[in-house]
Amino acid sequence: MEVDDKILNRFKEIRRQTIEEAKKLNNKGGAIKAIGVSGSARDKLDTAAEDSNSEFLLKVALDELEKNSVKTEFLALRKFDIKPCKACYSTTNTQCHFYCSCYPKGTPAGDDMSNTLYDKVLGADIIIFATPVNNFKISSMMALFLDRCISLDGSLAPADPNATKNRVKY
């Protein structure tokens, strides 16, 4: 991949500005925390016998953050049990709750998204997503993760409380 000095310098400036902005926004007083989320299904032990390119680049980015005193954590989605979104939000937006009520945290029905990953997302100041391009789209694991992130906005008040899809159904 060819990158001229102008583009490289622009990326370096954006990185510097982003780190400075994160420091200003960090009200916790501790180190800035970053998570790197890999949507790759492949690792060195698989058929290709090497990590995916997207995962390699994600690890390089996390290493750079570490050099800037950012606490980082690498998350390979392939190592987590994430159940599919049941699309409550699109049918009845008042029924989409955080933590995801379809897979309640701390119960036998809970999955790794409810029990682990939501808290990692909430605790991060920086989130970097890396995914291979499979069949002209993001990986299915990354799509699954992002679909489940819809509940992070909590339960929204319905736009039209009289519409069937917006009624609370208790």
On whether the CB atoms of residues 13 and 23 are closer than 8 A, the answer is: no
On whether the CB atoms of residues 125 and 33 are closer than 8 A, the answer is: yes
> What's the pLDDT score for residue 170?
40
The answer to whether the bond into 118 is cis (omega within 30° of 0) is: no
Locus of tokens 């339960």 = 155
> What's the pLDDT score for residue 139?
95
- What is the model's pTM? 0.75
> What's the pLDDT score for residue 132?
93
| Number of neighbours of residue 80 by Cβ within 10 angstroms | 16
> What's the pLDDT score for residue 160?
60
**Residues 98-145 pLDDT 10s:** 888 889 999 999 999 999 999 999 999 999 999 999 889 999 999 999
Domain span at 9: 5-166
Per the prediction, the chain carries an average pLDDT of 84
The CATH number linked to 146 is 3.40.50
Q: Let me know if 57 is exposed, middle or buried by CB neighbors in 10 A (0-12, 13-18, 19+).
A: middle
> What's the pLDDT score for residue 27?
57
Parts of the chain with a pLDDT under 50: 169-170
Locus of tokens 């489940």 = 148
> What's the pLDDT score for residue 143?
96
Give the number of domains in the chain.
Answer: 1
